[in-house]
Structure 1
Amino acid sequence: MKNCMVSRLALIVGLWLVMVPVFSQQNKPKTPPNIIIILADDLGWSELGCYGNRFNETPNLDRLAAGGMRFTQAYATAPVCTPTRIALMIGQHPARVGITDYLDAKDEKFLSPNYVTLNEQLQKAGYHSGLIGKWHLTGDYGKKKGEPAKHGWDEVICSETGYIANGDYFHPYFFMPDITAKTEGEYLTDRLNSEAVDFIKRNQAKPFFLYLSHYAVHTKLAAKAGMVAKYAQKSGAGTKQNNPELAAMLESIDEGVGQIMSTLNELGLRENTLILFTSDNGGESNVTSNAPLRGGKSELYEGGIREPFIAYWPGSIKAGSVSTQVINTLDIYPTLLDLAAVKTTTSSILDGVSIASVLTGNKKSAPRTLYWHYPLPKPHFLGGRSAGAIRNGDFKLIEYFDNGQIQLFNLADDLGEQNDVAEKLPAKRIQLLSQLREWRKKTVTDFQKTTN
């Protein structure tokens, strides 16, 4: 009897010891993930190895995709940078804001501090926020009306204080004259990567939101000489598809991804950090090719708006998953608020949708209809024309405001948008055109509306 009781007691104690970790895990309070957004500038959909590129070398981004989720139908909200960055920061279509083109040096428009930016929302959940790099949500920097400091960032590091056109990648940086180099011959992308690592180390004890916004690979292209020489010697170098200088600039971005991953591993933060990587618009067609997509930056063809998009969060996002879900830059804002359990006010307008369930469950959300509004007083110097567009299902319609031309493409069997079926499918053309114009009436600010 005594031996039986001892055996039962031992069994109970053993079961309890086994169950304690389970109960502890279940009862352990969930903490919101650290969030890192890495945004490349003017990076085309097909520039990464994990998207099929065999000339550029992006091993760290490829590993990020292999360990997380890669989207094949992710879109920028505009074919140029400022409006897409607005969508990222406030979750509203730039057509609502009235800024639908990039802001030049003399432009008095800016993102008003009245909008609640993503970093300000995440601060409600205890996040410490940091912007490193490009902002470009103001035109005239001298007036400082739309500078990052007006938008509640806890830290603003190596972000332009002057207009940034034409690129500037080696110190001294003309658009950041107050920045002192940390190394001789300092390369800007390396500096931003280093600052990102330092930010993570400083803020490892609390939830943080890091927005690492690279200036690369915007023209004028400039990269470290040794890297350029390496790519210049590769087979096929020298064509638009295989640009050694662009490849070298991209490798520097990729190196930073590797440094960030190593830092997260060292600090034990990898499992509780969500990393998103994407770009603001397609590649510039004068320095690269976005093939198999048509067109590039400034155009509403796929080459101007379809982007690489990688989401990485070990244990929450299934490794090696590929999503065909149609998503938009606008979706980042509601997704991150969802994951951080931040509630917006009922009066808040959000044009994107949360894709949290897609990330964590590899599920598809409801079918999407996406809209673009890109009115121009004259053609963009890269070739873009004043236009609007809609994607519904596999069909995409482009309406040109300069001459009334309508183009319709079935992306399911014509990814390169070579076969205009607007005349062959009049009912579909009428449906989508009507839908696009109705959206404009409801969404576009009065002074920005296009007459139909």
Structure 2
Amino acid sequence: MLLLAFYSRAQQQPNIIFILADDLGYSELGCYGNSFNETPALDRLAREGMRFTSFYAAAPVCSPYRAALMTGQYPARIGITDYLRPRAARHLDTSYVTLAELLKAQGYRTGIVGKWHLSGYIKEGAPEETLPDQHGFDEVLVSENRGIGEGTYFYPYDFNREIRKQLPGPQEFITDRQNEEALGFIRRNGKQPFFLFLSHYAVHTTVHGKPGLVRHFQQKKNAGSSPPTQQNPGNDPYNKWPAGSKASGNNPHLAAQLKTIDDGVAAIVSLLKELGLDQNTLLIFTSDNGGETTITTNAPLRGGKSTLYEGGVREPFIAWWPGNIKANAVCKQPLANYDIYPTLMALTGGAGNHQPLDGISFVPLFGNPQAALPPRNFYWHYPLDQPHFLGGRSAGSIRSGAWKLISFFDDGHKELYNLDEDPGEQTDLSAKYPSRVAGLDTALRNWQKNVQASH
């Protein structure tokens, strides 16, 4: 009955809400084992929907993830393999049919609320830019037009100085504003199929939460702490770098920001039910890369943002669609974010002959998390001129079944792990299995040639 209902409902062109947190690690949600942060709405989505435990980001940093999401292609094929700097000349070319354009061609109203980061910015000195309105988004709401590094979370916003305050009260918090803009988009467009990309700026560092929520988490047992920095000697709670913002674990600011994201999820679900749209809306929640290990841990996974260890690229991923996705289900099959494009294409009947797709549809998993998908390898390509400031190194990687090889471009050494037996990547097996290393390395090199990966 579930599959019959699923395919019947799918023919009605489901609304699609894709909620993306920034730099949220694998183990930050309650439903992924976190006992400090508070995420009741997301935990409920997991109980009512499907939680994925091996869902990968196409890269360990922001821009290449978003390029893969928008195109269904490996970042190496696109040529965006690192985060784009504010003055970058490179940007996502308008020749691609983006996910928004794909859905718009199927009659969807499209909107993005928040972070884009697939272009440099003219206002920062870039020679040109392509912002979301040039990539198929009908509505572009509180999105950046300047660099977002160390961006402000309280109004006025450094990343877009043209945004005007709308929320009541003396202070406006960008995550609250994004949540409200998302609700407004749903209300305006609920009578037609819509695609909403709610792309949060949180919890990108420097993390900075609303003072009341921060105090709540600071008072919890085992809360992390740190003094205010020299840039905020008076510990002004509305200025960047207040007390607790650099706590290395159980960070109260990260927890406060995540709670505001979670509150927005609760409000969105409530509105969908109020409007009678919940049974025909697919809601996905995930993150673009691992958490920063300076302020959190991605345990039991190793590493974090900027590394090709699992903590840098394995993400929380929840899919919710009442009556159409198996409830309280866990899917262990490996998937990647370039699979989202062909999945939504399959759900909506979009045509796929405009550009080669590197992902596959995982629609069959919605009804059965053990459904058979075509066997394949997963690849990462992350070349760097110098190490990332968070410790990431220039490297490539391949996962084939349980086996994962990381090939470091800077010194040529290789590491081999069996993820079924060692998901935390604690035991390098490269010396024990040299023939397996050689085979995986050959496959990785052949893939690099096939996609014309640049070093």
* TM-score, normalising length: structure 2: 0.91
Contact 1:69 1:322 in 2 (8 A): yes
| 1:273 matched residue in structure 2 | 281
Aligned mate of 1:358, from 342, 365, 377: 365
Aligned mate of 2:149, from 165, 169, 173: 165
Q: Which amino acid aligns with 2:358?
A: D
Q: 2:252 aligned with 1:244, yes or no?
A: yes
Contact 2:23 2:203 in 1 (8 A): yes
Contact 1:141 1:147 in 2 (8 A): no
Counterparts in 2 of 1:40-55, with a 5 A limit? Answer: 40-55=21-36
Contact 2:11 2:348 in 1 (8 A): no
Q: CA deviation at 1:437?
A: 0.5
| 1:331 matched residue in structure 2 | 339
Counterparts in 2 of 1:141-290, with a 5 A limit? Answer: 141-142=122-123, 143-183=127-167, 184-238=170-224, 240-290=248-298
Q: CA deviation at 1:146?
A: 1.4
Q: CA deviation at 1:399?
A: 0.3
Counterparts in 2 of 1:17-96, with a 5 A limit? Answer: 30-96=11-77
| 2:234 matched residue in structure 1 | none
| 1:318 matched residue in structure 2 | 326
Q: Which amino acid aligns with 1:201?
A: R
| 1:120 matched residue in structure 2 | 101
What do residues 118-140 of structure 1 show as CA deviations (whole Å, max 9, x unaligned)? 01001121100001100000023
Deviating beyond 4 angstroms after TM superposition, the runs of 4 or more aligned structure 1 residues are 25-29
* Alpha-carbon distance between aligned partners in 1 of 2:104 and 2:357, rounded to the nearest angstrom: 18
Q: Which amino acid aligns with 1:379?
A: P
Task: Sort the Cα spacing of 1:314 and 1:29 in 2 relative to 1 into closer, same or farther, 3 A.
Answer: closer
What do residues 222-261 of structure 1 show as CA deviations (whole Å, max 9, x unaligned)? 1001101111111111163311111111000000000000
Task: Sort the Cα spacing of 1:29 and 1:351 in 2 relative to 1 into closer, same or farther, 3 A.
Answer: closer
| 2:242 matched residue in structure 1 | none
* Alpha-carbon distance between aligned partners in 1 of 2:10 and 2:414, rounded to the nearest angstrom: 54
Matched pairs, number: 422
What do residues 246-282 of structure 1 show as CA deviations (whole Å, max 9, x unaligned)? 1111000000000000000000000000001111000
* Alpha-carbon distance between aligned partners in 2 of 1:241 and 1:395, rounded to the nearest angstrom: 30
* Alpha-carbon distance between aligned partners in 2 of 1:418 and 1:118, rounded to the nearest angstrom: 37
| 1:10 matched residue in structure 2 | none
Q: 2:407 aligned with 1:399, yes or no?
A: yes
| 1:106 matched residue in structure 2 | 87
Q: CA deviation at 1:29?
A: 9.9
Contact 2:151 2:159 in 1 (8 A): no
- Structure with greater helix share of residues: 1
* Alpha-carbon distance between aligned partners in 2 of 1:29 and 1:312, rounded to the nearest angstrom: 14
* Alpha-carbon distance between aligned partners in 1 of 2:78 and 2:340, rounded to the nearest angstrom: 18
Give 3-state SS (helix, strand or coil) of 1:311's partner.
strand
Give 3-state SS (helix, strand or coil) of 2:443's partner.
helix
Contact 1:240 1:288 in 2 (8 A): yes
* Alpha-carbon distance between aligned partners in 2 of 1:318 and 1:119, rounded to the nearest angstrom: 26
Q: CA deviation at 1:361?
A: 3.3
Q: Which amino acid aligns with 1:311?
A: A
What do residues 184-223 of structure 1 show as CA deviations (whole Å, max 9, x unaligned)? 3000000000000010000010000000000000001110
What do residues 69-126 of structure 1 show as CA deviations (whole Å, max 9, x unaligned)? 0000000000000000000001111101111000112211100111110010011211
* Alpha-carbon distance between aligned partners in 1 of 2:285 and 2:315, rounded to the nearest angstrom: 10
* TM-score, normalising length: structure 1: 0.91
- Identity within the alignment, %: 54
Q: CA deviation at 1:368?
A: 3.1
* Alpha-carbon distance between aligned partners in 1 of 2:335 and 2:219, rounded to the nearest angstrom: 37
* Alpha-carbon distance between aligned partners in 2 of 1:28 and 1:222, rounded to the nearest angstrom: 41
Contact 1:141 1:163 in 2 (8 A): no
Contact 2:89 2:128 in 1 (8 A): no
Aligned mate of 2:422, from 414, 418, 423: 414
Q: CA deviation at 1:144?
A: 4.7
What do residues 351-380 of structure 1 show as CA deviations (whole Å, max 9, x unaligned)? 111001111333231233100000000000
What do residues 320-374 of structure 1 show as CA deviations (whole Å, max 9, x unaligned)? 00000100000000000000011211x5210111001111333231233100000
Give 3-state SS (helix, strand or coil) of 2:20's partner.
strand
Q: Which amino acid aligns with 2:144?
A: E
Contact 1:276 1:311 in 2 (8 A): yes
Contact 1:369 1:390 in 2 (8 A): yes
Q: CA deviation at 1:152?
A: 2.0
Task: Sort the Cα spacing of 1:124 and 1:383 in 2 relative to 1 into closer, same or farther, 3 A.
Answer: same
* Alpha-carbon distance between aligned partners in 1 of 2:11 and 2:155, rounded to the nearest angstrom: 43
Q: CA deviation at 1:389?
A: 0.2
* Alpha-carbon distance between aligned partners in 2 of 1:92 and 1:193, rounded to the nearest angstrom: 29
Q: CA deviation at 1:26?
A: 11
Give 3-state SS (helix, strand or coil) of 1:380's partner.
coil
- 5+ residue gaps, structure 1, are 1-24
* Alpha-carbon distance between aligned partners in 1 of 2:212 and 2:335, rounded to the nearest angstrom: 37
* Alpha-carbon distance between aligned partners in 2 of 1:411 and 1:331, rounded to the nearest angstrom: 21
Q: Which amino acid aligns with 1:355?
A: F
Contact 1:79 1:298 in 2 (8 A): yes
